[in-house]
Amino acid sequence: MAVVGGTAPISTTPSSSTGEVVEYAQWRSRLLWYLTTCTGLGALVMLWMVLFYAGTDATQGHVQRIFYIHISAYSGGSVVFFVTVLAGVMYLITRNLKWDRLAVSSVEVGLPLMTVCLVTGAAWARPIWNTWWTADPRLNGMAVMWLLYAAYLTLRGAVENPDRRARFAAVYGILAFISVVYVFLIPRVRTDTMHPVVIGPSVSNPAAEGGFEVRVEDRMGATMGVAMIWWCTAALVLLWHRVRLENLAERVRAFKARLTN
């Protein structure tokens, strides 16, 4: 489910110079709350499918259920990090600070999702690989990615001039996305990672595709599909709320500036 209005409200940018009150179109707010409700109920459906509908994996047992969360959290995270890239490029082209607000919002939504991916991954690896963490190429990439986006937020905090901050953040957000692409591609093109490829083909390493029933078992496949859709939707809904918060903060700043002048 694509959230069509995911980036919509930022077009009603509050004018920062005058601080005038800009209301969002009513249908947009309605759509957002409708989506939020659906996402909230969808969480229950997803959890029900993960816990009861999908069935227990023959070899890994209950631990395998973590996959439904682990992979889809990564998908949601990479979708919003791609939004960071788009917002960065759009900012560099248009120089409209609304794109910068979208960029910072997307990183703040994406980073927790990637943290979910890391934590669930470690929890899965402990019983299956017998270690929480190992220097596997894909895991290394994940660590680098997490640090990069954390550094993105630090960089923003350290630059005071808003235009300069937006410019630097756009550049850094584009650079950081290399890590997302790397993590997605690495087990598909190389043979020296033991991380499984759960979805889609692995060009050079068919062994990494593994015998996961996700590929052959309909119920597991359906659960994975629903989980992926849920996490991507939840990411975009969260992003939408976060952008609204950022717009509100901008309005407060503008009011403050008007009061002090």
Partner 1 sequence: MIVKPPSFFQAMVRIAAKDLRAEMRSRSLISAMALFGVLTVMIFYYTLEGRPDLRAEALPAVLWVTVIFAGTQGLGRSLSQEHDRGTLDALLLAPISRSALFFGKLIVAWLFTLTVGVIVSGTMLILFNANLSNLGWWLMLLIGTLGFATMGTLLGSMAIHARARETTLPIIVLPIALPIVIGAVNACGAILEGKAFSEWSTWAGLLASLDVIFLALSFLLFDYVVEE
Which residues have C-beta within 8 Å of that of residue 119, sequence separation ≥ 6?
none
Is position 97 an interface residue for partner 1 (rule: CB under 8 A)? no
Per-residue x/- mask for partner 1, residues 66 to 95, rule CB under 8 A? --------------------------x---
162 near partner 1 (CB under 8 A): no
CB of 140 to partner 1, least distance (A): 6
Pick 47 or 150: Cβ nearer partner 1: 150
Compare residues 158 and 259 and give the one whose CB is closer to partner 1: 158
Nearest distance from C-beta of residue 160 to partner 1, angstroms: 6
In the complex, minimum distance from the CB of residue 186 to partner 1, in angstroms, rounded to a whole number: 10
- Selected from 174, 199, 229, 254, the binder of partner 1 by CB under 8 A is 174
Among 30, 164, 256, 258, the residue binding partner 1 under the rule CB under 8 A is: 164
Options 122, 123, 128, 159; binder of partner 1; rule CB under 8 A:
159
Smallest separation (angstroms) from partner 1 to the CB of 208: 16
Indicate which single residue of 119, 144, 194, 229 sits in contact with partner 1 (rule: CB under 8 A).
Answer: 144
**Number of Cβ atoms within 10 Å of the Cβ of 31:** 17
